[in-house]
Amino acid sequence: MFGKEEVKVFLDKDFLGKEEIGVHPNDNTASVYLKTADLMQIIKEHGNSLEVLSFA
């Protein structure tokens, strides 16, 4: 589908304690709410890297 990793995603570890996360897909006209685990899985399924860090 995609070539080598297209995007590197860094997620704050505090999000892991949240059941859902709201995101804006490409613009601010709508919000989509996903289970945090589902969002992480989607990122990985699309061949992108995901790293969880502490930004605090």
pLDDT of residue 1: 53
pLDDT of residue 41: 95
Mapped onto helix, strand or coil, the DSSP state of residue 48 is coil
pLDDT of residue 12: 94
pLDDT in tens, 11-49: 999 989 999 999 887 778 888 999 999 999 999 998 889
pLDDT of residue 29: 86
pLDDT of residue 27: 77
pLDDT of residue 5: 53
pLDDT of residue 24: 85
Residue 29 host element (H or E): none
Q: Which residues of 2-40 are buried (b: 16+ CB within 10 A; e: fewer)?
A: eeeeeeeeebeeeeeeeeebeeeeeeeeeeeeeeeeebb
